[in-house]
Amino acid sequence: MKLPVVQDTVYFYEPRNGHGLPHDPFNAIIGPRPIGWISTRSAAGALNLAPYSFFNAFNYTPPIVGFASIGYKDSVRNIEETREFTWNLVTRPLAEAMNQTCAAVPPEVSEFELAGLTPIDSRVIAVPRVRESPVSFECRCTQIVQLQGVNGDKVPTWLVLGEVVAVHIAQTLLKEGVYDTAAAGHILRGGGAADYFSIGPEQLFKMRRPA
Taking only the tens place, the pLDDT of each residue in 124-159 is: 999 999 999 999 999 999 999 999 999 999 999 999
Residue 32: asked if its preceding bond is cis (omega within 30°), the reply is yes
Percent of the chain scoring above 90 in pLDDT: 83
Give which of 172, 146, 177, 150 is closest to 161, Cα–Cα: 146
Residue 20, domain member (yes or no): no
Give which of 166, 179, 178, 157 is closest to 127, Cα–Cα: 166
Q: What is the pLDDT of residue 101?
A: 97
Task: Measure Cα distances from 109 to 101, 118, 133, 170 in Å.
Answer: 11, 14, 21, 29
Residue 37, H or E segment: strand 36-41
Give which of 167, 187, 169 is closest to 55, Cα–Cα: 187
Residue 102, domain member (yes or no): yes
Residue 13, domain member (yes or no): no
Domain interval for residue 56? 35-199
185-204 residue pLDDT tens = 999 999 888 999 999 899 98
Mean pLDDT of the chain: 94
Residue 60, domain member (yes or no): yes
Residue 42, domain member (yes or no): yes
Q: What is the pLDDT of residue 115?
A: 97
Does residue 5 carry a pLDDT above 90?
Answer: no
For residue 91, the 8-state DSSP code is: B
Specify the range with the lowest mean pLDDT, choosing from 58-62, 117-121, 135-139, 198-202.
Answer: 198-202
The total number of structural domains in the chain stands at 1
Residue 62: asked if its preceding bond is cis (omega within 30°), the reply is yes
Q: What is the pLDDT of residue 20?
A: 95
pLDDT category of residue 16 using cuts at 50, 70 and 90: very high
pLDDT category of residue 3 using cuts at 50, 70 and 90: confident
Does residue 9 carry a pLDDT above 90?
Answer: no
Question: What does the pLDDT average to over 89-96?
Answer: 97
User: pTM here?
Assistant: 0.93
Residue 132, domain member (yes or no): yes
Residue 107, domain member (yes or no): yes
Task: Measure Cα distances from 155 to 120, 189, 191, 192 in Å.
Answer: 35, 23, 21, 23
The domain spanning residue 84 has which CATH number?
Answer: 2.30.110.10
Residue 114, domain member (yes or no): yes
Q: What is the pLDDT of residue 129?
A: 98
